[in-house]
Structure 1
Amino acid sequence: MSDTLPMFPLGTVVFPGMSVPLHVFEDRYRMLVRHLLAVEDPAQRVFGTVAIREGYEVGDHGAQSVYRVGCVLQLTEVDRNADGTFDIVAVARERLQLEEMQRGSDFPQGVAEVLTEPRVDVPAEVLERARATFTAFRVAMTELQGDPFSGSLPRDPDYLAWTLSALAPLPLAERQSLLEAPDTTERLRLVTRLLTEELRAINVIPSLPATQVARTAWSPN
């Protein structure tokens, strides 16, 4: 079933479980935040996000310049600044499939369907290989620039897949492919392959700086 949601397209791919800090300064997105704050139930202060395709801006033809799979975000923290801007934190929940972007009267809106995540039994070897590949990648990154990660990996396969997807320092299109993967098994296989390719690049040209790690924090909410 499709619903109309406020939309906040971003220049990055967001994964379920990620904590997303945003500085809100544009008038239309300030209106979006004020709209959410007027919702009495904090659990219903939700909006959608999709990644802006590289090389595009969201304008009159915004529906043509954004990816169609994104996430539902729940507003969790708000700081009002004296200049009228906001600093907010939102937590990504389930994935969404965008059907249509609408300009709206005050802020962008979209017609979107929340995606149901399929439950699959992930083979043990897929889990083990994903963990081992990330561990090897972490060691390689630590040797180059110090450990860029903190904490331990979750044991739950779904959380593990989203965590590795969020932590992998990959180009936007590859991160989007991880978000769009059909299930946890395929997502773990894909992130393992992509991290293996990154490892090969680090080992072949170790003097080059590693790809900057994605700055958006992940937290298992």
Structure 2
Amino acid sequence: MSATIPLFPLGSPLFPGMVLPLHVFEQRYRLLIEDLLDLPDDATRRFGVVAIRQGWEVGGGTFGDAEPALYDVGCTAVVRAVSRRGNGRFDVVAVGSDRFTLLKVHRDLGAYLQAEVNWLPGPDTDADTVPEAAALGHVVGQLFLRYISQVARLHGTEIALPQLPESPRELSYLVAAGALLTAEDRQALLVEDLTASRLMAQSHLLRRELTVLSSLRAVPVPLVQLAVPSSLN
């Protein structure tokens, strides 16, 4: 089943269950938030977050004069709180919800992008892989805690290790959002339907990152991420 939703392109993908704070100041996205606030009280106020493809130029031009080239898979953000600023800007808190694939992007329906999307499988897809996901979740959880400790040590700070979620699916999205990965790595994790497969990929990614941290003695910031602003807004 398809639907048409407003789009909010960002420099990195959003994952289900992850909190997304936004300071909205660009006119077209202020209009997007205004339109959401005008919906009936019982309506779900949501927009689609899609990541911008990496590079200094996208969509045939620079960020200043061209619409972005977007990845095909994104995640809806459900608005939980909106604070209106005196200068017409908004502070928004949203939470990632449902994954989708872009069918068609509409650039001429209004001030901001809108898209026809098709919803991707949800948690029920994992029914046949629960035992495998649980075992992988334990491994990935331990690797992620080691990763956090190593990053904190390299920053010269002490940090209380977080309580990780028991759900392998929730853990996989937390790791995807929390580790310093390239946009391409994160996008691949978002696209993956099965939690077990996502966790397997993360076990390899975290081992790679731990190796880099131990050999370089520095927190890696992928150069490709430096080429893209965190938001077009």
Structure-1-length-normalised TM-score: 0.87
Task: Provide the residue aligned with 1:9 in structure 2.
Answer: 9
Q: Is the 8 Å Cα contact of residues 9 and 70 (structure 2) preserved in structure 1? A: yes
State the Cα deviation string for residues 167-190 of structure 1 (Å, max 9, x = none). 111111111111111310011011
User: Which ranges of structure 1 fall in alignment gaps of 5 or more residues?
Assistant: 217-221
Between 190-199 and 128-137, the greater mean CA deviation after superposition? 128-137
2: CA distance, partners of 1:204 / 1:191: 20
**Post-superposition offset of 1:140:** 1.5
Task: Provide the residue aligned with 1:107 in structure 2.
Answer: 112
Letter in 2 for 1:46: R
User: Which ranges of structure 2 fall in alignment gaps of 5 or more residues?
Assistant: none
Task: Provide the residue aligned with 1:77 in structure 2.
Answer: 81
Letter in 2 for 1:181: E
Task: Provide the residue aligned with 1:201 in structure 2.
Answer: 212
- Equivalent positions of 1:99-178 (< 5 A) are 99-103=103-107, 104-117=109-122, 118-119=125-126, 120-123=129-132, 124-145=134-155, 146-147=157-158, 151-178=162-189
2: CA distance, partners of 1:109 / 1:41: 22
**Post-superposition offset of 1:151:** 2.6
Query: What percent identity do the matched residue pairs reach?
Result: 34
1: CA distance, partners of 2:221 / 2:40: 42
Task: Provide the residue aligned with 1:90 in structure 2.
Answer: 94
* Number of equivalenced pairs: 211
**Post-superposition offset of 1:47:** 1.0
Q: Is the 8 Å Cα contact of residues 5 and 47 (structure 1) preserved in structure 2? A: yes
Change (3 A) 1:79 1:170: same
2: CA distance, partners of 1:129 / 1:172: 23
2: CA distance, partners of 1:42 / 1:23: 24
1: CA distance, partners of 2:104 / 2:203: 33
Change (3 A) 1:150 1:128: closer
Q: Is the 8 Å Cα contact of residues 151 and 219 (structure 2) preserved in structure 1? A: no
What do you get for the CA RMSD once the two structures are aligned? 2.3
State the Cα deviation string for residues 155-211 of structure 1 (Å, max 9, x = none). 1111111111111111111111111113100110111111100000111121x3444
**Post-superposition offset of 1:139:** 2.3
Name the SS of the counterpart of 2:21 in structure 1.
strand
Task: Provide the residue aligned with 1:181 in structure 2.
Answer: 192
Q: Is the 8 Å Cα contact of residues 178 and 187 (structure 1) preserved in structure 2? A: yes
Q: Is the 8 Å Cα contact of residues 149 and 159 (structure 2) preserved in structure 1? A: no
